[in-house]
Amino acid sequence: MGNVLQINDLKVEFHVNEGVIRAVDGVSFRVPERRTVAVVGESGSGKSVVSQAIMGILPKAGRITAGSINFYDPAKGGAATDIASLPQDGPEMRAIRGGRISIIFQEPMTSLSPLHTVGDQVSEALKLHRRTSTKEALSLTEEMLRLVGFPNPNRALRTYPFELSGGLRQRAMIAMALVCRPALLIADEPTTALDVTIQAQILKLIRDLQDEFGMAVLIITHDLGVVANVADEVVVMYHGRVMESGTLDDIFRRAEHPYLKALLRAVPRFDMQPGERLVPIREIESEMGHLMQRKEPWPEGADAAPLLDVKGLSKRFSIRRAGMFGGKTGAENVAVDDVSFFIHRGECLGLVGESGCGKTTTSKMVMRAMRPDTGQITFNDRGQMRDVLALNEQELFDYRRKVQFIFQDPYSSLNPRMTVFDILSEPLIIHKLGDAEERFERVKELMQLVGLDVRFLRRYPHSFSGGQRQRIGIARALALQPELLICDEPVSALDVSIQAQVLNLLKDLKAELGLTYLFISHNLAVVDYIADRIAVMCAGRLVEMAPREALFSNPTHPYTKALLSAVPHPDPDSKLDLGALMEGRASDPRAWPMPFTINGSTRPALVDLGGGHFVRADPDGMHAVGRAA
């Protein structure tokens, strides 16, 4: 078997105002025919720069200073072309780019034009690289959309990207990349922005299309679980260099380089022992000061009731369609439907489910940033039970001091015009806590608490990495010494090594400060590491809730089983079970078997299975299942 791509001693430099940055420093690896090679590493390791060099799309400041990128095109009998020596905008490179080597980018929403239909964007590649009529191009495009799994390919031709879900947008990107039948497909973090169930479907789709078209795949990722499920060979990069490379077995069973071993130890796993911690590549050294420890103790017996008790929460949104004189109300979308849960003080409740299931809407209603249509939210304020939905303006102001939020995106949640000191002191000023001197001391303690240097206080957010920005967000949330922290996907945008840092920090802060968490995520492995109990949400409803051990040892609801089967394990012996995903219908309540689906007029309710384990099902049907068992 020959190679489709051979990279030899590649060096790429960026000439910027600050000087010369060598992003890729002597990288060599190959991509064999019909095989999948994974390039693994943290952000900034040079993975994406290698892909840009292969595609001839380096930024203006970037240039290849040494090495070769030999492309052996099967359509030309395997004759070699050195891409590194071709002009990026020359006709030969344009013929290769998109025609013989295609790329799927990380974020499908920003990679697709919002002004053109999916049909126009996919067929554009055909018109550029083949001599086809508009009719023939649309026919081939429709066939490709069918191959990548669009439920109605003909309708998709006339659909705009913003009308599609994240999974379908990524399928449109794959269709665009494959419509010219390339010899090599580069997938740059193709599933990072997707839920685990959609991710599993996309990975299966890429593998199926690879077999059908006989192409090679170069997948770029930091997720070792994805690597274990799709790769034949692996290349591990760090600071622009290859640290280790080999077959899948070499990397996972015979890892030799310390960096690779550290990456493997930083990934949350389902088989972790009680008390076992993730081992990040760089530890955070945090320190607690006296001001953060100075917290009024709770009255005796005040925490007998849950800190937060949510009952029957529901929220609907009207879908508005454009009319001649404003909007006309169309159908209603049920975002949250009869959600009930509780969280005891000092506990972490993990709320898991895919995008659009209602997790964030539920958290906004708990914060009272949004009012529910029905339901009740009760907060235990040191023994006094507060009806959150009945709080007046001043009471709500005080309540929000006790309940704080950590946002998903550390880039957009910090004001770029404010220094770190301004960001951390703002909550203290708003709530009139302390004088200027005390606020300065408290801000310094917050920096030390999350492991950041106090000398960085006058810096702006753009000066920090993603993990450091997320720690600033955590420090801001802790400034008012809250009782409850709502963490909305706080590590989904981070590399595995930085993710391990933040998860360990959150666990330590919970123990040291007596915090309570509502931890929202779509990653069950992450939730398994940090949560005490887990609630699974689908299509606006809680479908299962149980202590962590019970949920993983005895998942009962078909959606919970699908979620568990969709989590990619960093172990070549534990491949994804795509069959349990019900061919993409796992999140459709109509596809669930009895007694979990609606039977006539019966409305499934949360059935107590004992030991704090609840599942949403028809009670009579569950009793029948129990008798049969």
DSSP per residue, 572-604: TTS---GGGGGGGTTT-GGGSPTTTS--TT---
516 has pLDDT over 90: yes
DSSP per position, 73-86: EGGGTTEEEEGGGS
User: Residue 400 has what pLDDT?
Assistant: 92
Q: Kindly report the number of other CB atoms within 10 A of residue 342's CB atom.
A: 17
278 has pLDDT over 70: yes
627 has pLDDT over 60: no
Vertex 199 angle, CA 27 and 149, to 5°? 110
629 has pLDDT over 50: no
582 has pLDDT over 70: no
Query: What are the tens digits of pLDDT across the range 2-60?
Result: 899 999 999 999 988 778 889 999 999 999 999 999 999 887 788 989 999 999 999 88
Helix pair angle (166-178, 134-147), 10° resolution? 130
Token pair belonging to 21: 């940055």
How many residues are listed for the chain in this entry?
629
Read off the pLDDT band of 332 (50, 70, 90). Answer: confident
323 has pLDDT over 50: no
Q: CA 134 to CA 126: how far, in whole Å?
A: 9
DSSP per position, 187-224: EESTTTTS-HHHHHHHHHHHHHHHHHHT-EEEEEES-H
Mean pLDDT over each residue of the chain, to the nearest integer: 87
324 has pLDDT over 50: no
Lowest mean pLDDT among 199-203, 241-245, 540-544: 199-203
User: Residue 130 has what pLDDT?
Assistant: 81
Q: What CATH class does 305-316+330-554 carry?
A: alpha beta
Q: CA 287 to CA 282: how far, in whole Å?
A: 16
- Give the amino acid at 238: Y
Query: What are the tens digits of pLDDT across the range 91-136?
Result: 999 999 988 999 988 776 678 888 899 999 999 888 888 878 888 8
- Give the amino acid at 14: F
Return the domain boundaries, the chain: 3-265, 305-316+330-554
Lowest mean pLDDT among 290-299, 352-361, 377-386: 290-299
Lowest mean pLDDT among 81-90, 129-138, 539-548: 129-138
221 and 252 Cβ atoms separated by less than 8 Å: no
Read off the pLDDT band of 628 (50, 70, 90). Answer: very low
Query: Which residues are within 8 A (CB) of 113 and not within 5 positions of it... i.e. 6 or more apart?
Result: 121, 161
Q: What CATH class does 3-265 carry?
A: alpha beta
User: Residue 584 has what pLDDT?
Assistant: 59
β pairing state of 233-238 and 36-40: parallel
Burial tier of 325 (Cβ tally within 10 Å: 0-12, 13-18, 19+)? exposed
β pairing state of 184-188 and 101-104: parallel
Nearest CA to 112 out of 196, 17, 177 is that of: 177
Judged by DSSP in three states, 366 sits in helix
| pTM for this entry | 0.83
User: Residue 247 has what pLDDT?
Assistant: 93
User: Residue 623 has what pLDDT?
Assistant: 59
Vertex 265 angle, CA 263 and 266, to 5°? 65
- Percent of the chain, pLDDT > 90? 45
Read off the pLDDT band of 1 (50, 70, 90). Answer: low
Judged by DSSP in three states, 165 sits in coil
Lowest mean pLDDT among 138-142, 191-195, 240-244, 453-457: 191-195
- Give the amino acid at 325: F
Lowest mean pLDDT among 89-93, 455-459, 622-626: 622-626
Segment 335-341 shows an average pLDDT of 92
Top-ranked range on mean pLDDT: pick from 230-239, 350-359, 583-592: 230-239
184 has pLDDT over 90: yes
Segment 593-607 shows an average pLDDT of 72
